[in-house]
Amino acid sequence: MSLDAAASWVAVLAFFAVILKPVGRYMGRVFTGQRTLLDPVFSPLERRLWRWAGIDPQASMTAVQYGTALLATNALWAVFAYLALRAQSHLPFNPQHFPGLTPPLAFNTAVSFVTNTNWQAYAGENTLSYFSQFGVLGFLQWVSPAVGLAALAAFLRALAGRSLGNYFVDLTRAITRLLLPAAVVLAVVLAALGVPETLAAYVHLHPLSGGSTWLPRGPIASWEAIEHLGTNGGGFTAANSANPLENPSPLTNLLEIAAMGLFPVASFYAFGYVTGRPRAAWTLIAVAAAFYLAMLALAYFPEVAGNPVLNRLGLHGTANWVGKELRFGIGGSALFQASSLAFTTGSVNAAPDSMVPLSTLSLFLGLLLNMVFGGDGVGLLNFLMFVILTVFLLGLMVGRTPEFLGKKIETREVSLTALAFLVHPLLILGATALAVSLPAVHDTLNRGPQGLTEILYGFASTAANNGSAMGGLEAGAPFYLWATGVVMLIGRYVSILLLLLVGESLLAKKAVPESPGTMHTDTPLFGGALFGAILVLNALTFLPVMALGPVAETYLLGAHRLF
Amino acid sequence: MGDRVSMRGPNWIELVGESFKKLNPLAMVRNPVMFVVEIGTAVVVWLTVRAHHAQSRQYDLWVSVILFFTILFANFAEAYAEARGRAQADFLRRTKSSTQAKLLRPDGTYTVVESHQLTRGARVLVEMGDLIPGDGVVVEGVGSVDESAITGESAPVVKAVEDSVTGGTRLLSDRLVVEITVNPGETFLDRMIALVEGAQRQKTPNEVALSALLGVLTLIFVLVVVTLVPIARYFGPRSTELATMVALLVCLIPTTIGALLSAIGIAGMNRVALINVVAKSGRAVEAAGDIDTIILDKTGTITIGNRMATEFLPVSGVSEAELAEAALIASLADTTPEGRSVVELALKVLRRERPPEVAGEPVPFSAHTRLSGIDLKDGRSLRKGAVSAILAIAPDHREEMERLAEAVAREGGTPLGVEADGHTLGVIRLKDIVKPGLRERFAQLRAMGIRTVMATGDNRITAEVIAREAGVDDFIAEAKPEDKIILIRQEQAGGKLVAMTGDGTNDAPALAQADVGLAMNSGTMAAKEAGNMIDLESNPTKLLDVVMVGKQLLITRGALTTFSIANDVAKYFAIIPAMFATVPTLRGLRHLNVMHLSTPHGAVLSALIFNALIIPALIPFAIRGVQYRAEPADRMLARNILHWGVLGVIIPFIGIWAIDRALGWLGLG
């Protein structure tokens, strides 16, 4: 392992270790409506907003009300985004005079940003106006992570035996107390480190090599800040964080990684703060961290080992440099990719399609588990879904009705949670099966396992609301625009809604006091069992397709066949 | 009790017939996991018939045969559990069949009717030697009843007015008039029979929850396999064999637990019946596993019914032997258990074999004098009784007597004064004796996180001493019946589940309030109606066994589910390399064949055979319940994860490998 790769791992892990407690505590305070430093600034504004909208911030919602409010606001934003993207040519701030988007592309893009996926079937710099980028997609980059954080806040409060709370309050506080302050700081720092922040038109360049070209620019620093803090991942330009204007240096690279992990990682500590069970939180942190480390290793070492076919030819150094930026190196690229997939951000600083098949398994691990800290709010929600399933399976083995945080897990909770677990494989496997069955789609795929990997990756990425893509997939084809759109919608909302119902159902139960007869969920034993259970449950679901995709390709590569 | 079941070994032919009968898809729908296997079998049978090549027909045929056996094994497990229950039920049924009842008319004459025609409120005459025709209450007469058919206890029990009697027991002496209290089909025996036979078995809450999870898991695996067909065809139209896909599906879905789930439930109820407890519902048995607090009466439950003399405390100037001698003679005529215990202790202290022969006039105990004793022919008079009563007739050593009495009371005993001819001799210490073995059981319960609370009418001091001696966690002294309800409500308000035992009518409200109320069969009708379980042997400590059975039921389900899911890992490593062996692009997957299974078809068949054989192999665990120790939850979890989770991953690797070798030797690989 190279020294700078090791140093960057240490830097990132140390950062998360340091922020975990203070930021987690702060998130917990925000989730439970306690006073924060920013209250003097925002509270008066918020009070006026509640009065104007006729919302009683103290009134708690039921799960159905919370879910309805969540769906209604998201639907409203999606329709607004769709119409604005369609009518782009009639709207202001369009210095490049881009036309309106086609219906499938507008649908796909609107859904993609509302669901915090930021799957981009377009190249931002030559498709979207400033208004579309900032007025539409920029707005969605703020609200979509806030929706995830709000859902998490409601669920955590339910687990802690408090009320489910008010969606609008949660949504607003997630933006004003969490995303906004962090984004302001990060944008300033990024701008200072050389990321452009301007509303001027693109620059027309006449390079020394002759001819002329456009250099796209814009308020990229603020875009990057919320793109990563909000685990959004949609790049300002198609090249995303590989573009030097979005991610100029190894330092900004680390900053962006830190930014995307900030809230997902800290929310695990917030779980312990809100429920008053810090030890339980540490257990979950340890399990997620173990998966994260596994992803880092799996993304890095196969890349360093490189492509055996090219290595045999002795063409260049052993590492796989294809599709990577020299300024980040293998270490910086692998670290960014693995983190972006773990935190389901989906921004990329290298081409996932060009990684050796073994290291794409690292990316798949993030997409399929969808809980390696995961996206803002939803990552922990997904994790807790696995925790509840594991508690039920293992809990029976101590001879009591299984309990989680003092609440009995019974038929209703098990059924709802199991259904939430079903959604992810249903979307990925179902959509992939459909795609390969359609002759028109089949013909556009790359040959061999690589083609299958690309299509699996596309649907796993959209189902997990990650948004990164393998370049080989024709994401702009109408089938994919519609199919990934539907997958993103179901993948985002069904599990959130089911888990809100689980939370409400647990909230209604009487707490069972702890005794030596209680299975503890805050022990290394449970952590180990949880790690094993998550691994086995997911392996059983996804092993066949992984065998047909990346695993088969790894063996073929070993046999010197390329695709 | 064990001989009840073993007296008729299972009829294997009948069981196999039963297993075939259960193949009926309409019945199978109730078990979604096995229903999927049945559909899969039908598909492969159809493939076998339609196959074009002899070789593929042979393979399809093998797959369908193994699948068919998988279902049969599952059916057999259920049939076996039911048969065991039925054997027990038959025994019970025999005790209640062919009884003739003497139905009393208002004028005092009777007509003979069949016992199953009796309805609630009917009065029947039972004479010496008759079987009591139904559950009821004695309204007239006293008689001794042989209840061994129900309790296994051979000593006859005396039944008088207001005592309850159970149908099927035999009156040994005298005559009774019994008022029948239940309608036909509702007797305790009927309930027990229904429960052990599993005929009207309703799924318990945890079983429903587990079934839901198994249903969703099955759905996921159906999804995995169904989507795998088109996804694999991406590598060419011939890259999947349908029979192998069905085999994969059956291997993945949790057939092990799906096949055994119902047997586990039936066997659990059967284990309750085996310890002679009638549970009115399976729900109550399962709730017993969740119990946090157990409330037990002191007298008769924690202590042997009566106080026993444990020590002689003479006043100064009197030897222990003198006191013992006086107490012995004073108690000779006392036939109460307390009196007899004084005699026993005195003989021990005096190292004598038998009590002396004395002539005199016994003075019986009366509530008024609070004394008993004897006036001997030689003129001596000996008395024992309440210390204050003794002091009233023999005032010497007053201070010392009071000091001794106080010391005894402080340590939880009851002091009994002894005097001879107007001189006090000393004090006998009477003490409650904790039943042997209870302390260890309470310690086990504590290890499992169950709190025991003792309820007693004694004062605080006495209660505290017994509580400490018995090792209960808490006690309520000077308890009135309503105190129990208050305690139960308090515990329940804190989210705890409470179990208690009771026999009196005044226990009934508390029995009804408790989550698990174990009524004594010797108790009143009201208590039996209020509880959700009845102990036929009327042994209150039985509650502890019921808790164990409840826990074991849950552990068995959890363990076999974990095992079932853990098994799947090895099956993937057998089937995935095998199923794509013919696709050139995917030949690299042969590296996943870590078990080095010889041929692709052999690998699939080996996995499938393992999957089928593990069902009968685990039937003993399902019937007897998995091994279980009283220990804290986390230690139990660690052990069960190791036994069922970790070994659950490893065992099938070895098993599938061994079956593949065996197939190779047989030339079937």
Q: For B204-210, what is the mean pLDDT?
A: 90
Is the separation of the CB atoms in A369 and A387 below 8 Å?
A: no
Number of domains in chain A: 1
Shortest alpha-carbon distance between residue A517 and chain B (Å): 4
Is the separation of the CB atoms in B327 and B342 below 8 Å?
A: yes
Residues of chain A contacting residue B630, judged by C-beta atoms under 8 Å apart: none
- The answer as to whether A231 is a domain residue is yes
DSSP B315-381: PTT--HHHHHHHHHHHHTT--SHHHHHHHHHHHHHHT-SSPPP--EEEE---TTT-EEEEEETTS-E
A404 has which bridge partners?
Answer: A407
Interface with A, mutate which of B444, B586, B639 (most A CBs under 10 A): B586
Higher pLDDT, residue A40 or B90: A40
pLDDT of B188 strictly over 70: no
Token couple for B200: 């009207």
Token couple for B69: 């056996």
A35 has which bridge partners?
Answer: none
Shortest alpha-carbon distance between residue A340 and chain B (Å): 27
Flag whether residue B585 sits within 8 Å of chain A, measured between CB atoms.
yes
Flag whether residue B233 sits within 8 Å of chain A, measured between CB atoms.
yes
CA distance A498 to A477: 32
* Interface contact A396-B586, CB threshold 8 A: no
pLDDT of A263 strictly over 90: yes
Flag whether residue B234 sits within 8 Å of chain A, measured between CB atoms.
yes
Q: What pLDDT shows up at residue B152?
A: 60
CA distance B102 to A48: 86
pLDDT class for B195, splitting at 50, 70, 90? Answer: low
**B218-250 CB burial, b ≥16 within 10 A, e <16:** bbbbbbbbebbebbbbbbeeebbbebbbbbbbb
* Partner residue facing B252 (CB), from A409, A540, A547: A540
Looking up tokens 């039925």 gives B86
Looking up tokens 């199978």 gives B28
Give B453's contacts (C-beta < 8 A, 6+ positions apart). Answer: B293, B294, B295, B296, B472, B473, B474, B475, B476, B487
In angstroms, how far is the first alpha carbon of chain B from the final one? 49
**Domain region containing A126:** 20-275
pLDDT of B7 strictly over 70: no
- The answer as to whether A165 is a domain residue is yes
Shortest alpha-carbon distance between residue A431 and chain B (Å): 9
Q: What pLDDT shows up at residue A204?
A: 83
- The answer as to whether A394 is a domain residue is no
Q: What pLDDT shows up at residue A142?
A: 94
Q: For A337-361, what is the mean pLDDT?
A: 91
Q: Which element (helix H / strand E) includes B261?
A: helix B255-274
* Interface contact A392-B209, CB threshold 8 A: yes
Flag whether residue B632 sits within 8 Å of chain A, measured between CB atoms.
yes
Higher pLDDT, residue B339 or A412: A412
* Partner residue facing B223 (CB), from A430, A554, A558: A430
Q: What pLDDT shows up at residue B646?
A: 94
Flag whether residue B290 sits within 8 Å of chain A, measured between CB atoms.
yes
pLDDT class for B6, splitting at 50, 70, 90? Answer: very low
Interface with A, mutate which of B637, B643, B646, B650 (most A CBs under 10 A): B637
**How many helices (DSSP H) and strands (DSSP E) are in chain A?**
21, 4
CA distance B160 to B524: 12
Residues of chain B contacting residue A433, judged by C-beta atoms under 8 Å apart: 226-231
Residues of chain B contacting residue A422, judged by C-beta atoms under 8 Å apart: 216, 219-220, 223
Interface of B with A in 472-511 (CB under 8 A): 494-496
Q: Give the number of other CB atoms < 10 A from CB of residue A181.
A: 17
Higher pLDDT, residue B354 or B658: B658
pLDDT of B64 strictly over 70: yes
Residue of A nearest to B562 (CA): A393
* Interface contact B591-A449, CB threshold 8 A: no
pLDDT digits (tens, 9 = 90+) for B621-637: 999 988 888 888 899 99
Residues of chain A contacting residue B212, judged by C-beta atoms under 8 Å apart: 411, 414-415, 418
Q: What pLDDT shows up at residue B10?
A: 65
Flag whether residue B235 sits within 8 Å of chain A, measured between CB atoms.
yes
Q: What pLDDT shows up at residue B31?
A: 87
* Partner residue facing B216 (CB), from A399, A419, A451: A419
pLDDT of B368 strictly over 60: yes
pLDDT digits (tens, 9 = 90+) for A462-512: 999 998 888 778 888 899 999 999 999 999 999 999 999 999 999 999 888
Q: For A83-104, what is the mean pLDDT?
A: 90
- Average per-residue pLDDT for chain B: 86
pLDDT class for B4, splitting at 50, 70, 90? Answer: very low
pLDDT of B200 strictly over 60: no
Q: Give the number of other CB atoms < 10 A from CB of residue B423.
A: 15
Residues of chain A contacting residue B592, judged by C-beta atoms under 8 Å apart: 547, 551
DSSP A403-414: EETTEE--HHHH
Shortest alpha-carbon distance between residue A432 and chain B (Å): 7
Shortest alpha-carbon distance between residue B205 and chain A (Å): 7
Flag whether residue B205 sits within 8 Å of chain A, measured between CB atoms.
yes
Interface with A, mutate which of B204, B210, B213 (most A CBs under 10 A): B213
pLDDT digits (tens, 9 = 90+) for B256-278: 999 999 899 888 888 888 888 88
Flag whether residue B552 sits within 8 Å of chain A, measured between CB atoms.
yes
Q: What pLDDT shows up at residue A482?
A: 95
Shortest alpha-carbon distance between residue A511 and chain B (Å): 5
Backbone angles phi, psi at A34, to 5 degrees: -85, 170
Nearest to B350 by CA among B373, B384, B330, B327: B327
Residue of B nearest to A521 (CA): B634
Return the minimum-mean-pLDDT range out of A177-181, A336-340, A424-428, B463-467.
B463-467
pLDDT digits (tens, 9 = 90+) for A212-227: 887 878 888 999 999 9
Q: Which element (helix H / strand E) includes B414?
A: strand B414-420
Backbone angles phi, psi at B114, to 5 degrees: -75, 145
* Interface contact B233-A436, CB threshold 8 A: yes
DSSP A61-111: PPHHHHHHHHHHHHHHHHHHHHHHHHTGGGSS--TT-PPPPPHHHHHHHHH
Decide: helix, strand or coil at residue A113: helix
Residues of chain B contacting residue A403, judged by C-beta atoms under 8 Å apart: none
Higher pLDDT, residue A137 or B186: A137
Token couple for A535: 């691994």
Shortest alpha-carbon distance between residue B653 and chain A (Å): 15
- The answer as to whether A524 is a domain residue is no
Rounded to the nearest 10°, the torsion over CA A315, A319, A322, A323 is -160
Q: For B375-390, what is the mean pLDDT?
A: 88
Nearest to B507 by CA among B496, B518, B492: B518
CA distance B340 to A176: 84
* Partner residue facing A452 (CB), from B229, B234, B551: B234
Nearest to A552 by CA among B324, B100, B586: B586
Percentage of residues of chain B with pLDDT beyond 90: 29
Higher pLDDT, residue A560 or A425: A425
Percentage of residues of chain A with pLDDT beyond 70: 99
CA distance B88 to B196: 7
- The answer as to whether A467 is a domain residue is no
Is the separation of the CB atoms in A211 and A243 below 8 Å?
A: no
* Partner residue facing B220 (CB), from A425, A518, A536: A425
Residues of chain A contacting residue B494, judged by C-beta atoms under 8 Å apart: 513
Nearest to B432 by CA among B467, B405, B404, B398: B467
Nearest to B279 by CA among B269, B266, B294: B269
Q: What pLDDT shows up at residue B97?
A: 58
Q: What pLDDT shows up at residue B95?
A: 59
Token couple for A184: 């302001």
DSSP B48-108: HHH-SSHHHHHHHHHHHHHHHHHHHHHHHHHHHHHHHHHHHHHHHHHHHTT-EEEEEPTTS
* Interface contact B555-A552, CB threshold 8 A: no
* Interface contact B641-A394, CB threshold 8 A: yes
CA distance B46 to A498: 40
Q: What pLDDT shows up at residue B299?
A: 74
Residue of B nearest to A406 (CA): B495
Which positions of B are catalytic?
297
Q: What pLDDT shows up at residue B668?
A: 66
Interface with A, mutate which of B219, B231, B245 (most A CBs under 10 A): B231
Token couple for B433: 């004796």
- The answer as to whether A420 is a domain residue is no
Rg from Cα positions in chain A: 23
Looking up tokens 């075939």 gives B20
* Interface contact B641-A401, CB threshold 8 A: no
* Interface contact B205-A411, CB threshold 8 A: yes
Interface of B with A in 321-360 (CB under 8 A): none
Task: Return the number of CB contacts < 8 Å for A and B.
Answer: 214
* Partner residue facing B633 (CB), from A517, A551, A555: A517
Whole-angstrom CA distances from B557 to A511, B198, B272 are 24, 17, 16
CA distance B42 to B24: 13
Nearest to B517 by CA among B480, B482, B484: B484
Q: For B175-197, what is the mean pLDDT?
A: 75
Q: For B98-111, what is the mean pLDDT?
A: 82
Shortest alpha-carbon distance between residue B446 and chain A (Å): 8
pLDDT class for B227, splitting at 50, 70, 90? Answer: very high
Backbone angles phi, psi at B136, to 5 degrees: -175, -170
pLDDT digits (tens, 9 = 90+) for B515-532: 999 988 777 778 888 888
- The answer as to whether A125 is a domain residue is yes
Whole-angstrom CA distances from A324 to A250, A333, A373, B659 are 13, 7, 25, 49
* Residue A416: half-sphere exposure toward Cβ, Cα within 13 Å: 20
Residues of chain B contacting residue A411, judged by C-beta atoms under 8 Å apart: 205, 208-209, 212
Interface with A, mutate which of B211, B227, B283 (most A CBs under 10 A): B227
pLDDT of B578 strictly over 60: yes
CA distance B608 to B614: 10
- The answer as to whether A317 is a domain residue is no
* Interface contact B588-A543, CB threshold 8 A: no
Residues of chain A contacting residue B632, judged by C-beta atoms under 8 Å apart: 516-517
Give B344's contacts (C-beta < 8 A, 6+ positions apart). Answer: B309
Give B643's contacts (C-beta < 8 A, 6+ positions apart). Answer: B559, B626
The residue type at B305 = G
Q: What pLDDT shows up at residue B365?
A: 81
Q: For A273-284, what is the mean pLDDT?
A: 95
Percentage of residues of chain B with pLDDT beyond 70: 94
Give A391's contacts (C-beta < 8 A, 6+ positions apart). Answer: A402, A403, A404, A409, A519, A521
pLDDT of A410 strictly over 50: yes
CA distance B380 to B370: 20
pLDDT class for B3, splitting at 50, 70, 90? Answer: very low
Interface with B, mutate which of A386, A396, A494, A563 (most B CBs under 10 A): A396
Looking up tokens 């779980």 gives A271
